[in-house]
Amino acid sequence: MPKESFGLIVIVMIVLNIVFFPRQEEITHENEPPYVLEPFSVVVEGAVVFPGTYVFYRPIGEQDIIGYAGGYLDEADVGSVSNRIFDADGRIHIASEDETSEEPTIKVDVNQANFKELLAIPSMTETRAASLIIYREANGDFMTIDELINVKHIGPVTLENIRPHITVG
């Protein structure tokens, strides 16, 4: 009888082992190239707590970057900050209220300005400046700033961005 009970115990142990410890499936890995993260840097300067260069590996918003730089100083002009997304090297300058109040606004006369002078206007690209000059030569001087909406590559948003920096006078 002891041999029979020993055999029964062995069979019960094998069944329990199969039930409670099943074989794990083998995991096969395909040979995929590793995903390489491309770093980019953003230089933060001006009225922030910790100005410097910050390196990121994924697209990130301007407000988040300023958070990494410790936030704004008390004298920061936060009205000049947008929430653009950075996914390549870039630069953020946070002006202080002293800079913005002391800085005189020099307006460029779009009827007289050459290509280089037009490029000095914020939000003015080479394409927009060239289109403005071509339109001005074909149609004559602008009578009002609002006429710039007729220039190819200058839409309502661009017009509002350049309005404080231009004159037709």
pLDDT in tens, 40-74: 989 898 889 999 999 998 899 888 999 999 998 88
pLDDT reading at 33 higher than 80: no
| Domain limits, the chain | 40-101, 108-167
**pLDDT value at 1 more than 80:** no
Tens digit of each residue's pLDDT (9 = 90 or more) over 111-161 = 999 998 898 888 888 999 999 999 999 999 999 999 999 999 998 888 888
SS3 content of the chain, % helix, strand, coil (to 5): 40, 15, 40
Place 10 in a pLDDT band, splitting at 50, 70 and 90.
Answer: confident
CATH 1.10.150.320 fits domain 108-167: yes
pTM: 0.42
Using alpha carbons only, give the angle 47, 49, 54 rounded to the nearest 5 degrees.
95
129: tokens are 């400046």
Mean pLDDT over 18-22 rounds to: 77
Is residue 166 predicted with pLDDT exceeding 60? yes
What pLDDT is stored for residue 102 in this prediction?
46
User: At 100, is the pLDDT very low, low, confident or very high (cuts 50, 70, 90)?
Assistant: very low
pLDDT at 99 over 90: no
Amino acid identity at 42 = V
